[in-house]
Structure 1
């Protein structure tokens, strides 16, 4: 259900906030610009002016889905978030040039779609879940519009003993879809299946892209998570 909510973006406070009511004094949520991302998602949201906002809460990704009746307004919000991110990054990385900062402003997801997954014992039944690969975070949801992921998997680099394999171990049974993917991490293996070969190739390609990138220093701490502009927008709240 989409409900009207007031949003306030404050560079001075370094945060995007939203309020349940126009006259509310305390925000319902505070999203730090440091961890803020926005990406257009018209198909997923079912509105041509749909925007997905993500941020970190307790080191887990939180999704907020919003739209505005005015297409220009949602584009203005997107650009305002990018501008706030740019100013934050200029302070955080004073030696970096604009050409280095611009790619960090906002990012599109590397891949999204349904796959099936099993549990850590690999004997549990395979369940259909919605997956999102956001940089090194592979998140899975019961529904594409869920606020929080059911789980998150960190995808490191080849140099750190992470790898992707086509297919599943021969001992695995109970799959509904035949196109298997095995993600190997230093701690365990994650098993997934895709419905068709096109999805399979897209996921394999996306995983390999992530694995080929060297890990940044701050990503070594992130790998343990496995698990003012002012306007009203309509936001989805479960």
Structure 2
């Protein structure tokens, strides 16, 4: 077959339904392919494939292709490859999207194609065993300096703990799995492996910031937290399906940044505050400085519950991360566009200032 005919066949393969999105991140219209794995990927993921040249060799779909390579892509394709490389992905394991940080996308690609973690269940032990122990660099609350701290995650105890000294018997903090959240924040923390862990203490939201020099180690901690949360929610809500529980495991911030707000009395002037919003809550912190990250460790000052745009009823949320079973899906199809800022003294106005996604 002539080269032009080969390229036309390649374009036909590319337009198959299973090949219309990136095999790794779901980005639409992938324009690169792995000749060795038989998958179509986006340009961003193709750069990550280049980091494992012994596993994957990539080529643009706009280049001239050999007939043998086109035949491989026609025989494989994204669905066939996923059936092999993603056959045993745990429900709790985070599948990155194209909007996620590079660390998550790269480790997802390496886990699939280089380490074959989802073909052999025994390779998932680091994050699925229900217990994990190790050392992470944690940012200090007062001076912002990162120090090595021992962390223990135990499903049996229902908590993530860390210790200020390596030989300490009592933990510095006990973070209940029930209220635990984790999200990668490399820019905020100043490290590509930076993870922000959020939890409740005395009904206030607290944050700690950690990282590990080994990217796989940090992603394993992240997925271990998700696994612990998943198993906790399975017990707490036995009637819920995996599809209902998985979105509750961890939450990324939809928006965060500065806004200025008044105090409890309308006579008070506007003060700069750092706001964060996920899909269920708007929170602000008293300390006006978002960096260094140690400033985030102060307790949240107020939590605002979004209400439904259609019926104006507030979403029902407990102090944890999941609503009660009877109201678990309340407002799930509504738009949380109306935000009521009110307390015992009445509504408090606020105005935006460089809110960032």
What TM-score does the superposition give when structure 1 sets the normalisation length?
0.69
Cα shift at 1:156: 4.2
| Structure 1 partner of 2:352 | 194
| Structure 1 partner of 2:304 | 154
Cα shift at 1:23: 1.1
Q: Counterparts of 2:243 and 2:303 in 1: how far apart (Å)? A: 30
| Structure 1 partner of 2:234 | 90
Distance 1:117 1:88, change over 3 A: same
- Structure 2 counterpart SS, 1:194: strand
Distance 1:96 1:74, change over 3 A: same
* Structure 1, unaligned runs of 5 or more: 163-180, 204-238
Q: Counterparts of 1:99 and 1:71 in 2: how far apart (Å)? A: 28
- Kept in 2, the 8 Å contact 1:161–1:186? The answer is no
Q: Counterparts of 1:125 and 1:184 in 2: how far apart (Å)? A: 16
* Structure 2, unaligned runs of 5 or more: 1-144, 315-337
Q: Counterparts of 1:186 and 1:8 in 2: how far apart (Å)? A: 38
- Kept in 2, the 8 Å contact 1:49–1:68? The answer is yes
More helix by share: 2
The alignment status of 1:126 with 2:270, answered yes or no, reads yes
Q: Counterparts of 2:229 and 2:339 in 1: how far apart (Å)? A: 35
- Kept in 2, the 8 Å contact 1:131–1:141? The answer is no
| Structure 2 partner of 1:8 | 152
4+ runs deviating over 3 angstroms: 158-162, 181-187
Cα shift at 1:41: 0.5
Cα shift at 1:110: 2.4
Q: Counterparts of 1:22 and 1:121 in 2: how far apart (Å)? A: 47
The alignment's C-alpha RMSD in Å is 2.3
| Structure 2 partner of 1:59 | 203
More strand by share: 1
